[in-house]
Amino acid sequence: MSRIEEGGIFANYHTHTWRCNHAQGTEREYIETAIRAGMRVLGFADHTPYPFPEGHVSGFRMRLNQLDDYCKTLTDLKREYQNDIEIHIGLEAEYYPSHFEALLRYCEDYPIEYFVQGQHFTHNEYDGWYSGRETKDEQVLADYCAQALEGQRTGRFLYLAHPDLIHYTGDAQTYERHMRALCKALKPLGRPLEFNLLGFAEHRPYPVKRFWEIAGEEGLTAVLGCDAHQPEALYRPQIVQEAKRILEKHGVPIVRELELPTHV
């Protein structure tokens, strides 16, 4: 039996590096773990640097002047390991309405192959709500859904990472109404939703069972995302088997490999 059948995954597009200030290990360690796990496609998508206005410094992402080293390091490793695994260079980015265009312009000079959307904040981070913070405020939920959708509608993202990150603990009907509307609106875009294996492995509030039931009912597909912040996160066979079982139960097909855009 191959490692994939045992619980490895064919492609993972969600891998961090030390530059985000909360991940461990070298890029080489992630790559070698992925190879040992039988992975065929490994995409790095570290937290993007963001061209914020003067005065706002984010502690959980690389700085603008680190993007060069990020791309250079991965470009060299991509070449070195080309016979062993397919490596891609991406970024995990929020859709921040006031700064997203500037981010795209900034990235034009770099060999970035794709973005995944991780909507960690509403609005523009410095004037919004942290999506993982518990709230009973329907407006926060509505803002999160609207922004996630607006981002996906730009067509600039490969997929929506941890779509159920928003930690709404108000009444179930309100959650249901907003998330169903989000899923219905996402469906025609034809992009998968990420089932986040980090949240799943660490028993975080996401993935949310109700969300994935709705996703299944609305006919969406899923991609498994390791969201690796340490090399070992690229090979967790039991977690992967369990995730597959849950998605199957909710009627959500898993997309094994994604087609990358020709430019971002």
> Least Å distance between CB 173 and Zn ion?
27
Angle ∠(101,102,107) on CA atoms, nearest 5? 100
Indicate the residue among 49 and 118 with the shorter CB distance to Zn ion. 118
Minimal distance, residue 170 CB to Zn ion, in Å: 23
**Exposure string (b/e) for 56-87, b if CB count within 10 Å is 16 or more?**
eebeebbeeeebeebbebbeebbeebeeebeb
Q: Residue 9 CB, nearest distance to Zn ion (Å)?
A: 16
Shortest reach from residue 236's CB to Zn ion, in Å: 15
- 209-241 per-residue burial string, b: 16 or more CB within 10 A, e: under 16: eebbbbbbebebbbbbbbbbbebebbbbeebbe
Residue 87 or 93: the one with the smaller Cβ distance to Zn ion is 93
C-beta of 78 vs 162, nearer to Zn ion: 162
3-state SS, residue 115: strand
Token pair for 128: 């919004």
Minimum distance from residue 156 beta carbon to Zn ion (Å)? 16
Q: How far apart are CA 31 and CA 182, in angstroms?
A: 35
Q: How near is the Cβ of 161 to Zn ion at its closest, in Å? A: 5
Residues with Cβ within 8 Å of residue 18, at least 6 apart in sequence: 24, 25, 26
Q: Which is nearer to Zn ion, 113 or 227 (by Cβ)? A: 227
Side-chain-side CA neighbours of residue 179 (13 Å): 24
Tell me the C-alpha distance between 226 and 175, whole Å.
26
Q: Which residues bind Zn ion (CB under 5 A)?
A: 92, 118, 227
Beta-bridge mates of residue 15: 228
Nearer to Zn ion, 92 or 143 (CB): 92
Please report how close the Cβ of residue 121 comes to Zn ion at its closest, in angstroms. Answer: 11
CB-wise, 79 or 128, nearer to Zn ion?
Answer: 128
Shorter beta-carbon distance to Zn ion: residue 14 or 99: 14
